[in-house]
Structure 1
Amino acid sequence: MKFQIVFNTFLILICSILSLKAQELKTIRGTVQDVNGLNLPGVIVSIQETNLTTQTDAGGNFELRVSEKKVIHLKSSYIGYKTLETTIDLNVDNIQSLILTLQENITALEEVIITAEKKETKLQKTAIAVSSISSKEIERRKITEMSDMVMAVPNLITMSGGSPTLNIMSIRGILTFSTDPAIGVYIDGVPMFDGYATSSQLQDIERVEVLRGPQSTLYGRNALGGVINILTKQPGNMQKGFAEVGIGNYNAQEYRAGISTPLIKNKLFASVNGFYTTRKGLYKNEYTGKDFDDYKNYGGNFFLKYLVIEKLSFVLNSKLEKNDIIGAFAYAPNVAYAFDKPYTVNQDGSNIENRTLSTTSLQAKYQLEKWEVSSLTGYNYLSDTYDNYDYDFSPYDVMTWNAPKRPQNTWTQEFKVVSRNLGRWDITGGLFGFIENKAATTHTIYGSDAVRIDPNAPYTSSSISDQKGKGFAAYAHLTYALTNKLKLTGGLRYDYDEKELILYDKYKKDPDPAQVFPSKTVNSSANAISPKVNLSYLASEDITLYANYAKGFRPGGVNQYGSANSTHLTYDPEYTDNYEIGVKTEWFEQRLRANFAAFYTNWKDQQQTLMAPENYVDNIGEMYSKGLELEITALPIKNLEIKYNIGIVNTEYDKLLLLNEDGTGNVDYKGNKQIFTPDFSSSLSVTYSGKISNDLGFFIVPEWKYLGKQYMTYYNDLVQDPFYLLNLNAGLKYKKYEIKFWAKNITDSRYISFAYANYRGNGTQVSLGLPTTYGISAKVSF
Structure 2
Amino acid sequence: MTGTKRDQALQDVPSSVNVLTETDIAEAGIKRPRDFLATVPNVTFIEDNAGEVYVNIRGQTAVRNSDPNVAVVIDGVPLVTLKAFNQDLFDIQQIEVLKGPQSAVYGRNAAAGAIVIATKRPGDIVEGQMSAGFGNFGTSRMSMGLGGPLSDSLKFALAGSTRETDGPFTNDLTGEKVQRAQSSLGRLRLFYTPDDLTDINFRLAAHDSNGGGTAYNGQFAGVPVGDVEVTALDADLMLPFVSNVEGFSEEEMLDSALDIERQFDFGSLRSITSYNSFDQTFGGDGVPYIADSGSAGALVQMYTYQDEVVSQEFRISSATGGRVQWMAGLYLMQFDRDQFSELSQDLDGTMLQTRGVDGPDSAAPTVSYTASEFQTRNYAVFANTQIDLTDSLSLELAGRYDIEKREVTEKAPDVFNLCVQAFSIPRSACNDSETFRNFSPKVSLVYLAAENITLYANYGKGYKSGGFNPLGSRAALVAAGAGAGVPESDIYVQDQFDEETSDSFELGFKGKFFDKRLSINAGVFHTVVEGAQQFEFFPSAGLQTVTSIDEVELRGFDVDFTALLPNEWELFGGFGYTDGEISEFGPNPAFEGNVAPGSVKTTATLGLSKAYQLDRDLTLTPRLEVSRYGSIWWDVANTEGTERDPITLVDARLTLAGEERWEIALWGKNLTDEEYYQEIVPLLGVLSVNYRAPTRSYGIDFTYHF
Question: Structure 1-normalised TM-score?
Answer: 0.79
Identity over aligned pairs, percent: 26
Contact 1:283 1:330 (8 Å CA) reproduced: no
Is 1:753 aligned with 2:678? yes
Match of 1:296 among 161, 172, 182: 182
Match of 1:354 among 247, 250, 270: 250
Distance 1:686 1:698, change over 3 A: same
Q: Determine the structure 2 residue equivalent to 1:420.
A: 319
Q: Provide the C-alpha distance between the structure 2 equivalents of 1:245 and 1:517, rounded to a whole number of angstroms.
A: 57
Q: Flag structure 1 segments of 5+ consecutive residues without an equivalent.
A: 1-113, 451-455, 510-515, 659-665
Q: Provide the C-alpha distance between the structure 2 equivalents of 1:308 and 1:393, rounded to a whole number of angstroms.
A: 59
Match of 1:384 among 280, 297, 316: 280
Task: Give the CA deviation at 1:740.
Answer: 1.0
Is 1:227 aligned with 2:114? yes
Is 1:780 aligned with 2:666? no
Task: Give the CA deviation at 1:726.
Answer: 0.5
Partner SS state of residue 144, structure 1 = coil
Q: Provide the C-alpha distance between the structure 1 equivalents of 2:411 and 2:511, rounded to a whole number of angstroms.
A: 58
Q: Determine the structure 1 residue equivalent to 2:668.
A: 743
Q: Determine the structure 2 residue equivalent to 1:595.
A: 521
Is 1:723 aligned with 2:647? yes
Q: Determine the structure 2 residue equivalent to 1:625.
A: 554
Q: Provide the C-alpha distance between the structure 2 equivalents of 1:756 and 1:687, rounded to a whole number of angstroms.
A: 38
Q: Which range moves more in the overlay, 517-526 or 335-344? A: 335-344
Match of 1:572 among 470, 493, 498: 498
* C-alpha distance after superposition, 1:168-206 (max 9, x if no partner): 211000012223211111111211122322322212111
Is 1:433 aligned with 2:359? no
Q: Provide the C-alpha distance between the structure 1 equivalents of 2:593 and 2:237, rounded to a whole number of angstroms.
A: 34
Is 1:616 aligned with 2:503? no
Contact 1:478 1:489 (8 Å CA) reproduced: yes
**Equivalent residues in 2 for 1:525-604, closer than 5 Å:** 525-560=435-470, 568-604=494-530
Contact 2:627 2:649 (8 Å CA) reproduced: yes
**Equivalent residues in 2 for 1:160-559, closer than 5 Å:** 160=47, 162-163=48-49, 165-179=51-65, 180-265=67-152, 267-333=153-219, 342=238, 344-397=240-293, 398-403=298-303, 405-421=304-320, 423-448=322-347, 459-506=366-413, 518-519=427-428, 520-559=430-469
Partner SS state of residue 675, structure 1 = coil
Task: Give the CA deviation at 1:318.
Answer: 2.0
Amino acid at match of 1:182: N
Contact 1:641 1:686 (8 Å CA) reproduced: yes
Task: Give the CA deviation at 1:761.
Answer: 6.0
Partner SS state of residue 127, structure 1 = coil
Amino acid at match of 1:439: D
Amino acid at match of 1:437: D
* C-alpha distance after superposition, 1:470-524 (max 9, x if no partner): 1110111112111111111211110000021111333779xxxxxx972401102
Is 1:680 aligned with 2:580? no
Q: Provide the C-alpha distance between the structure 2 equivalents of 1:705 and 1:684, rounded to a whole number of angstroms.
A: 7
Q: Determine the structure 2 residue equivalent to 1:707.
A: 629
* C-alpha distance after superposition, 1:571-625 (max 9, x if no partner): 2211000011111111112111111111000000112222248532122331010
Amino acid at match of 1:306: Y
Partner SS state of residue 615, structure 1 = strand
* C-alpha distance after superposition, 1:10-46 (max 9, x if no partner): xxxxxxxxxxxxxxxxxxxxxxxxxxxxxxxxxxxxx
Q: Determine the structure 2 residue equivalent to 1:105.
A: none
**Equivalent residues in 2 for 1:47-126, closer than 5 Å:** 114-126=1-13
Q: Determine the structure 2 residue equivalent to 1:692.
A: 614
Task: Give the CA deviation at 1:387.
Answer: 4.0
Task: Give the CA deviation at 1:339.
Answer: 7.8
Contact 2:213 2:282 (8 Å CA) reproduced: no
Partner SS state of residue 677, structure 1 = coil
Task: Give the CA deviation at 1:635.
Answer: 1.8
Q: Provide the C-alpha distance between the structure 1 equivalents of 2:119 and 2:272, rounded to a whole number of angstroms.
A: 15
Task: Give the CA deviation at 1:722.
Answer: 1.4
* C-alpha distance after superposition, 1:187-241 (max 9, x if no partner): 1121112232232221211111111011100110101111111111111212112
Q: Which range moves more in the overlay, 291-300 or 476-485? A: 291-300
Task: Give the CA deviation at 1:117.
Answer: 0.8
Amino acid at match of 2:695: P
Partner SS state of residue 101, structure 2 = coil
Contact 1:283 1:343 (8 Å CA) reproduced: no
Q: Provide the C-alpha distance between the structure 2 equivalents of 1:159 and 1:379, rounded to a whole number of angstroms.
A: 26
Partner SS state of residue 105, structure 2 = helix
Amino acid at match of 2:30: I
Task: Give the CA deviation at 1:327.
Answer: 4.2
Contact 2:19 2:96 (8 Å CA) reproduced: yes
Is 1:136 aligned with 2:23? yes
Task: Give the CA deviation at 1:137.
Answer: 2.0
Q: Provide the C-alpha distance between the structure 2 equivalents of 1:247 and 1:383, rounded to a whole number of angstroms.
A: 29
Higher Rg of the two aligned structures: 1
Partner SS state of residue 285, structure 1 = coil
Q: Which range moves more in the overlay, 731-740 or 241-250? A: 731-740
Task: Give the CA deviation at 1:764.
Answer: 0.5
* C-alpha distance after superposition, 1:106-144 (max 9, x if no partner): xxxxxxxx0011011110111211111122222222222
Q: Which range moves more in the overlay, 328-337 or 597-606? A: 328-337
Q: Flag structure 2 segments of 5+ consecutive residues without an equivalent.
A: 222-228, 350-359, 417-424, 477-492
Task: Give the CA deviation at 1:762.
Answer: 4.5
Question: Structure 2-normalised TM-score?
Answer: 0.87
Partner SS state of residue 217, structure 2 = coil
Contact 1:461 1:508 (8 Å CA) reproduced: no
Q: Provide the C-alpha distance between the structure 1 equivalents of 2:26 and 2:471, rounded to a whole number of angstroms.
A: 38
Contact 2:442 2:458 (8 Å CA) reproduced: yes
Q: Which range moves more in the overlay, 569-578 or 686-695? A: 686-695
Partner SS state of residue 675, structure 2 = coil
- Larger RCO (CA under 8 A, 6+ residues apart): 2
Amino acid at match of 2:300: T
Q: Which range moves more in the overlay, 584-593 or 365-374? A: 365-374
Q: Provide the C-alpha distance between the structure 2 equivalents of 1:135 and 1:220, rounded to a whole number of angstroms.
A: 27
Partner SS state of residue 163, structure 1 = coil
Partner SS state of residue 713, structure 1 = coil
